[in-house]
Homo-oligomer: A and B are copies of this chain.
Amino acid sequence: MTELEKQTEEKIFEAATDVFIEKGMDGARMQEIADRAGINKALLHYYYRSKEKLFDAVFTIIAKQMLKRFAPVFDENLTLEEKIRFYYQQQTDFMKRSPRLPLFILNEVSRNPQRVKNVLKHMDHTNLLKILEEQHGDEFARYKINRETLPQIMTSIAAMSIFPFVAKPIIEAIFEKFGTNFNEYIERRVDFATAFTYNAIKSREK
């Protein structure tokens, strides 16, 4: 593959990424992707046979990149509270730069649930739970974190960080009526969510 080929393919891929995230699969137009890439429609089909295949390529890469960012959560040198904070920080930083991305993924995954399975298929997940249990076994016992409550806690943490960006237009509209500023709210989000979550977990102790 020559340098020029790679350049073109990459330009197409980047343009497609932008347009798909902005408009979704159904709303995206091959013409717009071609325009943004500075080439014509025919060339899109030369590199990627169809809109569907182009979308799949974009979606797979994006989803895998998102997953990769959170491996450091399993860093053993962090306390449980630090892990929680680290996760919130990573998510928030990421979504401040790509605010439309979470909704895009939720959307397309909902329309085609098979996509998630394809992405997760090649991930080493079997040990993640064990790693957490080994690193924080005593805390898990003290706070009654088990195979029943851990899913509740983890989805709550994901929810707390992702939802504000997914529901941004609604939150902004409501905040406007009460004189609250969305950006200031986000600036405080990591601190608040970390304390809120960790306090909730700690108070499970009896």
Contact = CB atoms under 8 A, between A and B. Distances in A.
A70 interface: no
A47 B147 CA distance: 53
Interface string A17-52: 000000110110000000000000000000000000
Contacts of A24: 24, 26, 107
B110 A168 contact: yes
A57 interface: no
Contacts of A125: 174, 177
Copy tally for this chain in the complex stands at 2
B167 A158 contact: yes
A197 interface: yes
A156 interface: yes
Interface residues of A, number: 58
A107 B107 contact: yes
Interface stretch (A79-87, A90-98, A113-121): A113-121
A141 interface: no
Contacts of A192: 149, 152
A163 B168 contact: no
Interface in A148-200: 148-149, 151-153, 155-156, 158-160, 162-164, 166-175, 177-180, 185, 188-189, 192-193, 196-197, 199-200
A53 interface: no
Contacts of A172: 113
A202 interface: yes
Contacts of A158: 163, 167
Interface of A: 23-24, 26-27, 100, 103, 106-107, 109-111, 113, 116-117, 120, 125-126, 129, 147-149, 151-153, 155-156, 158-160, 162-164, 166-175, 177-180, 185, 188-189, 192-193, 196-197, 199-200, 202-204
